[in-house]
Structure 1
């Protein structure tokens, strides 16, 4: 299994960083997780539009799913068109994105497979176990397993015991860390800090931690130091092009 970070910026993209977007590859199957703002150009540096085998979306905020629209356009208007793309997303999460091109060739470019956070299902070679994690909109944290290797991903979330369940013994925890060490009171139920992410990784016994969804402009070194207060394993911030081979 191999994870490539396409973007990890929270809220909006910067000149150097796309929003959330991750390419997970195993046994030749290419799964795109959370195609947020500005992810498609980064994706195209690794695989053509028709080379994506499935998409998995954690929730409906546009910094996690907006670039599904240009991806589907690129597939629909290719010559010949790519086959319909399996899109796994919580019920209603991508409706607004899909509505942008309703009544066009894009209507036949996807196969929407809606799920409720908490359900288990397969995506190619991956077993996807999901949990509903607290956020402003329904958000599916996920545990993806293939050939005994485990990637846990929180999407965007506030504090929850389900994070530890998803990440238990994971080879890699890809964890929301919008803030460094203190989350504003109004956001505290819905978002995490890097320090909290480190604690969750330690409690879960994860082998490695990647911090993602940092607020634009957050110094990576500060987030990594905050996470290290609670987690002693390898820790890094999601950076475009970062590739992590998993056992």
Structure 2
């Protein structure tokens, strides 16, 4: 399994990096996880829009889904005869995004696969299990398993005992680490710190950790250090172009 980081910031993109977005490839299947702000261009630098096989969206905040709209335009306006792109997301989470365009324009570009956080389903070669994790809107953390390999992804989440099950023995945990250590009162219960990620990664026995959704301006080394206080495995920060390979 090959995971390419398209962006790793939370809230808004900067001149140097987009928001959450990951291209996951296995056996020729290409899955896009969370096409947030400013992730489409780095995606298209690697994969033509028509060659993408599916999209998974953890929740409906625009820093996790906004670039799905131009992606659908790129598919339908370039080749109206192309197959619909399967889009998996919590029910109702993308209604406002789909309503941005003129009625019916992008409808042929996608196939809608709604689910409730907590559901399990197959997505290409991946067996997907989801968890309802605490955030301001319904958020589905997920495990993507294929063979003996497991990628775990939190989306955006506050602290939850469910995170240990989500990350249990995962080959890679991609986790919300908006702040290095202290979460401001206004975000307590809805977002996580790198220090918290380190604690639940250690409890879960995750093999390596990729910190994502950092608040713009956060020093990456501070996030890595905070996670490393409780977790002694490999920790990196999501940055554009970073590639993580799982398995041989």
2: distance between equivalents of 1:41 and 1:113? 25
Shift of 1:100: 1.1
C-alpha distance after superposition, 1:122-169 (max 9, x if no partner): 100001100000000000000110111000000000000111001100
Quick check: 2:20–2:64 contact (8 Å CA) kept in 1? yes
2: distance between equivalents of 1:19 and 1:112? 23
Shift of 1:186: 2.5
Shift of 1:183: 0.6
> In the alignment, is residue 42 of structure 1 matched against residue 58 of structure 2?
no
Task: Identify the range of structure 1 (47-56 vs 74-83) with the bigger mean alpha-carbon deviation.
Answer: 74-83
Question: Aligned residue for 1:209?
Answer: 209
Quick check: 1:58–1:90 contact (8 Å CA) kept in 2? yes
Partner SS, residue 8 of structure 1: strand
Partner SS, residue 83 of structure 2: coil
Question: Aligned residue for 2:130?
Answer: 130
Aligned length: 247
Partner SS, residue 77 of structure 1: helix
Quick check: 1:75–1:81 contact (8 Å CA) kept in 2? no
Question: Aligned residue for 2:158?
Answer: 158
1: distance between equivalents of 2:95 and 2:52? 20
> In the alignment, is residue 90 of structure 1 matched against residue 126 of structure 2?
no
Partner SS, residue 78 of structure 2: coil
1:32-71 alignment, distance < 5 Å: 32-71=32-71
Question: Aligned residue for 2:229?
Answer: 229
Partner SS, residue 227 of structure 2: helix
CA 1:113–1:32 in structure 2 vs 1: closer, same or farther (change >3 Å)?
A: same
C-alpha distance after superposition, 1:83-115 (max 9, x if no partner): 100000001111111111242431111100000
1: distance between equivalents of 2:93 and 2:45? 27
Normalization by structure 2: what TM-score?
0.98
Question: Aligned residue for 1:194?
Answer: 194
- Ranges in structure 2 where 5+ consecutive residues have no aligned partner: none
1: distance between equivalents of 2:104 and 2:58? 26
C-alpha distance after superposition, 1:11-31 (max 9, x if no partner): 000011100000001110000
Shift of 1:79: 3.5
Q: Which runs of 4+ in 1 moved over 4 A?
A: none
Question: Aligned residue for 2:240?
Answer: 240
Shift of 1:71: 0.1
Partner SS, residue 19 of structure 2: coil
